[in-house]
Amino acid sequence: MLEGLDPEQREVATALHGPVCVLAGAGTGKTRAITHRIAYGVRAGILQPSSVLAVTFTNRAAGEMRGRLRQLGAQGVQARTFHSAALRQLQYFWPKAIGGSMPRLVDRKVKLVADAAAAMGTRLDRGELRDVTAEIEWSKVTQTIPADYAYAAAKAGRDIPRDPAEVAHLYAAYEDLKRARAVIDFEDVLLLTVAILQDRHDVAEQVRMQYQHFVVDEYQDVSPLQQRLLELWLGDRDSLCVVGDASQTIYSFTGATPDHLLDFKGRHPGATVVKLVRDYRSTPQVVHLANGLLTQARGRAAGHRLELLSQRPAGPEPAYTEYTDEPAEAEGAARRIRELIDSGVPAAEIAVLFRTNSQSETYEQALADAGVPYQLRGAERFFERPEVRKAGIALRGAARFGGNDSLLDDAVDLPSQVRAVLSGEGWSSEPPAGSGAVRERWESLAALVNLAHDLAVATPGATLGDFVAELDERANAQHAPTVQGVTLASLHAAKGLEWDAVFLVGIAEGMLPITYAKTDEQIEEERRLLYVGVTRARERLHISWALSRAPGGRPGRRPSRFLDGLRPGTTATVGHTGASAGGGVERGATAGAAAVPRRTQRTQRTPARCRVCGRTLTDAGEMKLMRCEDCPSDMDEGLYERLREWRAVQAERSGQPDFCVFTDRTLMAIAEARPENSAGLSRIPGVLSRKLRSYGPDVLAICAGRQADADVEDA
């Protein structure tokens, strides 16, 4: 199981006790390391497959992880996205924790946001609708309610599409509409799962009994809400392995933050930290450019950068090309791509990456004119294409009744069976001439043929029924097979992928960094975005820019500042303030010893004791009340009821379940403590700083026998 792993990867695979943090640079084999870690733990009898939950951020990554674990003999391990894992738990526990049927999940919220805006009489164009939807998503993953949106957005430096108060009202209207239609969105899946695990100690314990060991990939991209869910899954245990690279943090606009990764050692003093810097993906020339980009970076993430060491033979130097205008740039890229394909480079091993999706159309046209097949990543989902749906029906029928199908008489193995079935759907051994819809349909069917071949290699003896089951699993996870065409994708969509040849286009000031990136933090994220683009290339890297947008336009553009000092004839304009980190292992104080529960590591925290009898409290519900369940309560029943009535009003206004405002336990604790000021209220477990700011004045007014401010306003 450990053969073929380098020394640092082997350290990852064998570090099976206590918290582990893997700082993994681009192309350093992190997925290989963590899947071998899980498989090694299973083989060694240390990990039970059903007790392991591996979480990542995309269905494609989760599907890839499941496939690798299956090949390593670690069947039964759950590899899911955060949302998929939470949704599964929510569906299971909803009848027990909430009662009744779970609301319907909407997969796209834009239509609901549009309906909410219409109900308010607000007109949003297509761009504003998209931006407001993004603000609602950011608010929810950062656990910001509508009433707090304006303050939180200003503090975070959000580029708000409209007046903050108007966005807050749209957010509230959206939540009201969801509630009226009895639906929930993807962020609600996380919010509701967190709420249930916080409120129902029995449910949390059941989840923790099921999952004993956690692995989190792309940990630099976790949001505060996902981190909270992870903490609730863990409880007081520390059997956690996280993997990430702060230099690849490019989703902060969604609420992602690398702070959890960078602070991991502080939260887990006994953690083993392993740095992976041996780059097996890219040539030394590509790696040199990637390292150079980060050398000029600033900020906290830059201070923890990993200097990659290429393990591949030398390749061509990155090419830099300047064009007069964008159409000329697209034609130049298409011409070079045509030359690569003619020289033997598969079209599927070539990508054109750009900063914004609006740049795609020019390159689609240029590639079509050059007779180059392409696929647009992020467009219509593969398994929703009509030809793929029809092919699935045909394959399912052949799997059931293939013995009576003359098409399969001469098909002796799985690939030949799939080719025979799909020949009736429009597939042929040679692609059709030209481009357009006919070519796109053929590319989709060819992807299924290639997938059948891959399955036959990975699982000798696989049947047509096995192939249909594989398609069903991939469709559920939206894990699409590779289409044989040049990939067109935004830099954000390219994260986690790689190609032999990469064309980075439009690398000019105003586009990268994008014109609306104003703050130092935003500029540095744009630099990291280019770093991600560079590290997608295995061998060939082409970087280009245009001096003007349209033919005959004023040539006022200049190459991106990020290329200063890196492309020939330029000098660097920014100095790096942090030191790079080499590979290796940093063992925590408890490494090699029995794992120390997280609670025992927090020596500063005094044990919670019952305020009636003095017994040490361990139950979460008792700790919130600060007394044993059986000890007498001095709760003010009238105050408790007034608090419950107030909570119902607040929940209705914010469009959240009651327990998202305060749980029953927290209200009981308030009714028992009867705090007189903010300091007393803040000492009650469950009253966090955000809730203290939002609800503190109302709660203190109710405790003092007065009406809450909101009630006075309503009156």
Q: Is 510 annotated as a binding residue?
A: no
Are 501 and 344 in contact by the 8 Å Cβ rule? The answer is no
Q: Is 616 annotated as a binding residue?
A: no
Q: Are strands 319-325 and 537-548 parallel, antiparallel or unpaired?
A: parallel
Report, in angstroms and rounded to the nearest whole number, the Rg of the chain calculated over CA atoms.
28
Q: Is 24 annotated as a binding residue?
A: yes
Tell me how far apart the alpha carbons of residues 273 and 586 are, in angstroms, rounded to a whole number: 5
What contacts 502, CB < 8 A, 6 or more positions away? 350, 351, 353, 533, 534, 536, 537, 540, 541, 542
Are 587 and 272 in contact by the 8 Å Cβ rule? The answer is yes
SS3 24: strand
Are 306 and 275 in contact by the 8 Å Cβ rule? The answer is yes
Are 645 and 651 in contact by the 8 Å Cβ rule? The answer is no
Please choose, from the candidates 533, 514, 531, 534, the residue with its C-alpha nearest in 3D space to the C-alpha of residue 522. Answer: 514
- Eight-class DSSP state of 511: B
- Eight-class DSSP state of 36: H
Are 657 and 192 in contact by the 8 Å Cβ rule? The answer is yes
Q: Is 29 annotated as a binding residue?
A: yes
Tell me how far apart the alpha carbons of residues 50 and 74 are, in angstroms, rounded to a whole number: 10
- Eight-class DSSP state of 555: -
Are 510 and 548 in contact by the 8 Å Cβ rule? The answer is no
DSSP E strands in 217-256: the ranges are: 240-244
- Eight-class DSSP state of 708: P
Are 333 and 503 in contact by the 8 Å Cβ rule? The answer is yes
Give the number of C-alpha atoms closer than 13 A to the C-alpha of residue 325, restricted to the C-beta side. Answer: 8
SS3 49: helix
Tell me how far apart the alpha carbons of residues 378 and 518 are, in angstroms, rounded to a whole number: 27
Please choose, from the candidates 390, 457, 383, the residue with its C-alpha nearest in 3D space to the C-alpha of residue 421. Answer: 390
Q: Which residue has the tokens 């890229």?
A: 333
Cα–Cα separations (whole angstroms), residue 346 to 192, 339, 342, 424, 647: 46, 11, 9, 26, 61
H or E segment and range at residue 351 = strand 350-354
Phi, psi (degrees; rounded to nearest 5) at 230: -60, -40
Are 521 and 297 in contact by the 8 Å Cβ rule? The answer is no
What contacts 304, CB < 8 A, 6 or more positions away? 23, 246, 247, 262, 578, 581
What contacts 367, CB < 8 A, 6 or more positions away? 334, 337, 352, 373, 374, 435, 486, 488
Q: Quick one: CA dihedral 593, 594, 595, 598, positive or negative?
A: negative
Number of H helices, E strands in the chain: 29, 17
What contacts 59, CB < 8 A, 6 or more positions away? 81, 84, 477, 478, 479
Q: Is 26 annotated as a binding residue?
A: yes
Burial of residue 705 (CB within 10 Å: 0-12, 13-18, 19+) is exposed
Q: Is 31 annotated as a binding residue?
A: yes
DSSP string, 469-492: HHHHHHHHHT-PPPPSSEEEEETT
Feature table: binding site for ATP: 24-31
Feature table: binding site: 24-31
